[in-house]
Chain A
Amino acid sequence: MQAAELAEQYPLVDIDADALEATRILARGRLPGLVVTERGRPYAVLAGSQVVKFLVPDYVQADPSLARVIDEPAADRIAARLRGRTVREMMPSKPTKLPSVDRDDTTLEIAALMAREHTPVVAVVRDKRHNLEILGVVTAARLLEQVCHVE
């Protein structure tokens, strides 16, 4: 099967979009990560784990034992850190570039790319050389579903 056939519609978020709204998209769709675009072009993958990391205050990241001293109601309010922030601010200092495949690439080519780049999503683009126009996204789950013939 070719990449174009595996490609699914996947929510894209602009790099300057509201962080809280983008996180809600991630949560509602139970997605492995967000596909981030800049001026309509694929830019990077923002993994769900990176979003969770952003929710954790820096001082707790520096000293994880501090997570234990914070009371439950305060701990439940950690999403407040997203207010007024953008997706750009949630990006790691070295963002994971969104890997892309051509529409006629095979499942093995896609799997090899995912394995090499450690990413759960790959963009299927019309013109891979110029990284133009995302036709859809192949997720690791979709790929595995196809190769294992999961009902």
Chain B
Amino acid sequence: MSAAFAVTVFAVAYVFIATEWVGRVKVALVGAGVMIAAGLLDADQVFFEPETGVDWNVIFLLLGMMIVVGVLKQTGVFEYMAIWAAKRARGDPYRVLVLLCLITAVASAALDNVTTVLLIAPVTLLVCDRIGVAPVPFLIAEALASNIGGAATLIGDPPNIIIASRAGLGFNDFLVNLGPIVIVLLVVFVLVSRLLFRSAFVADPERVDEVMRLNEREAIADSRLLLRSGVVLALIMAGFVTQSLTGLEPALVALLGAGLLVLISGLESSAYLEEIEWETLLFFAGLFVMVGALVATGVVEELAVRLAELVAGNLLLAVVVLLFASAILSAIVDNIPYVATMAPVVAAVMASDPELQGQTVLWWALALGADLGGNATAIGASANVVVTGIAKRSGHPISFWEFTKYGLVIATITVTLCVPYLYLRYL
């Protein structure tokens, strides 16, 4: 009875989140509240058990990185890199697109993809304005590159953070297992972009000077802050990479790094606090409690047993189904609630089958499917939503279908390429 109730509440909440009829934070918190009020979870389960309640590792990792990004944003380093890249490309539109996409992908892997596109998009509009090309293909390409790049690391995309916490995987696990395929996918993406966006690569050669006259050095607002931020970011990355030696969880590394950066930056607290997306953090908390109710009532275990029976003895089938199902569902609904729901299911599937224990391939299939599937539509990933919003405000609206006609091609190619990678490496 309690399981049926939990499923009903969860399904209704999911419909509201997917359709955006009501703000997603409100839905997640109300859903969590209903689960708690119905007695499905107690305080211990909500606050102190990550399987059935709030996963503080995820919340604090996000919080720490948001503060780091808040400080880093003040330095102007993103603007510097983007303008430098445009000048290195000597105003050639394709080269500009490639370099901007590579910067976006790398920054998305090191920080997070939403912040990266928020910072890169305005510079892109400036560069496109200078060289006299339509900015829409560039903006779409950057959103796609950010989702591909973000898939490479634990901190690059929120679904990866959830998977890392649920699966007990570290920063290096993601880098070693997803990094190689992401590099391949980026190369393919850059090559395909030449064809996909070919109509955008017609610029006025006489306007190249306009780009060359931009002064990227002026973008650096505070070189001392940039130096300090660079050092702290390097320390944070070192902390992530050496997790197996130090035993420090990524969330603690991010919080320590954020604290150090705040301490030495000399910035007013408002400067970095305004970068914290409290709504996102609350959304995650509500979501964890809702999913926790499904775990506590045995729904997840039941679902996992059924799934394990379906793919029994055929790991390849399980991987392919999980990869493509994740990609399709992430294209339709936000990949964060999807992964928050599926991560405990995958964990239970692995726990129910002795042959699957110790195998990480299902986690990589889930991560790749969810991260790359988000590229398929304009609403599939947060970065896509952010980019279309910026484009609209700047007078270059991107319709849902315009984004999707490019995104779907890239999502299909990249997700399909993951199949041989996962097969050859893990099966």
A contact set with B: CB distance below 8 Å: 57-60, 62-63, 65-66, 68-71, 74
Known: A58-B395, A59-B129. Is A66-B122 also a contact (CB below 8 A)?
yes
In the assembled complex, which residues on chain A have CB atoms less than 8 Å from the CB atom of B129?
A: 57, 59
Residues of B contacting A71 with CB < 8 Å?
213-215
Give the residues in chain B near A59, CB-CB below 8 Å: 121-123, 125-126, 129, 394
Please name the residue on chain B nearest to A72 by beta carbon.
Answer: B213
Check if B119 sits within 8 Å of A63, measured CB to CB.
yes
Contact A68 B213 (CB under 8 A): no
Partner of B123, one of A58, A63, A68, A74: A63
Does residue B219 face the partner (Cβ distance < 8 Å to A)? yes
- Some 30 contacts from A to B, beta carbons below 8 A apart, are A58-B125, A58-B394, A58-B395, A59-B122, A59-B125, A59-B126, A59-B394, A60-B126, A62-B121, A62-B122, A62-B125, A62-B390, A62-B394, A63-B79, A63-B119, A63-B122, A66-B79, A66-B122, A66-B123, A66-B126, A68-B215, A68-B218, A68-B219, A69-B83, A69-B126, A69-B219, A70-B214, A71-B214, A71-B215, A74-B213
Tell me if B210 counts as interface (CB < 8 A to partner A).
yes
Q: CA–CA, A106 to B135, complex, Å?
A: 53
- Contact partner of A65 (CB less than 8 A), chosen from B121, B210, B219, B395, is B219
- 8 A Cβ contacts from B98-142 to A: 119, 121-123, 125-126, 129
Q: Given A74-B210, A74-B213, do A65 and B125 touch, yes or no (CB 8 Å)?
A: no
Of the candidates A58, A65, A69, which one forms a contact with B214 in the assembled complex, judged by CB atoms under 8 Å apart? A69
Q: Mark B72-90, 1 if CB is under 8 A from A, else 0.
A: 0000100100010000000
Judge whether B334 is part of the interface by a CB distance below 8 angstroms: no
CA distance A58 to B395 in the complex (A): 8
Q: Does B221 reach chain A (CB closer than 8 Å)?
A: yes
Chain A residue with the shortest CB-CB distance to B119: A63
Q: Is the CB of A57 within 8 A of B219?
A: no
B385 shortest CB reach to chain A, Å: 16
Q: Which residue of B lies closest to A63 (CB)?
A: B122
The size class of the interface chain B forms with chain A is 20 to 34
Interface string of B204-244 (1 = CB under 8 A from A): 00000010011110110100000000000000000000000
Chain A residues, Cβ within 8 Å of B210: 74
Which residue in chain A gives the minimum CB-CB distance to B221? A65
Contact A66 B213 (CB under 8 A): no
How far does the alpha carbon of A70 sit from the alpha carbon of B125 in the complex, in Å? 13
A90 to chain B, nearest CB (A): 13
Select from chain A the residue with minimum beta-carbon distance to B391: A58
Interface centre among A59, A60, A62, A71 (most CB of B within 10 A): A59
Which chain B residues border A63 with CB–CB below 8 Å? 79, 119, 122-123
- B123 surroundings in chain A (CB, below 8 A): 59, 63, 66
Nearest A residue to B393 via CB reads: A58
Smallest CB–CB gap between B327 and chain A, Å?
31
B125 adjacent to A57 (CB under 8 Å):
yes
- Asked if A57 contacts B214 (CB within 8 A), the reply is no
Least distance between A60 CB and chain B CB atoms (Å)? 8
Q: Can you name 10 extra interface pairs (CB under 8 A) apart from A57-B126, A65-B79, A66-B79?
A: A57-B125, A58-B394, A59-B122, A59-B394, A60-B126, A63-B79, A63-B123, A66-B219, A68-B219, A70-B126
B55 to A: closest C-beta gap in Å: 33
A72 to B393, CA, bound (A): 25
Contacts of B76 in A (CB 8 A): 65
A69 to B80, CA, bound (A): 9
Q: Is the Cβ of A69 less than 8 Å from the Cβ of B215?
A: yes
- A residues less than 8 Å from B122 (CB atoms): 59-60, 62-63, 66
B276 to chain A, nearest CB (A): 19
B186 to chain A, nearest CB (A): 25
Q: Which residues of A contact B218 (CB under 8 A)?
A: 68-69
Contacts of B216 in A (CB 8 A): 69
Distance between Cα atoms of A57 and B219 in the complex (Å): 16
Residue of B nearest to A65 (CB): B76
Kindly state the separation between the CA atoms of A69 and B213 in the bound complex, as whole angstroms.
9
Minimum Cβ distance to chain A for residue B130 (Å): 8
Chain A residues near B213 (CB, 8 Å)? 71, 74
CA–CA, A66 and B213, complex, Å: 13
Cα distance A71–B218 in the bound complex, in angstroms: 10
> What are the 9 A-B residue pairs with the smallest beta carbon separation, nearest first?
A59-B125, A63-B122, A68-B218, A58-B394, A59-B122, A62-B122, A71-B213, A69-B218, A59-B126
- Minimum CB–CB distance for A11 against chain B, Å: 28
Known contacts A68-B218, A74-B210, A74-B213; decide if A62 and B79 are in contact (CB<8 Å). no
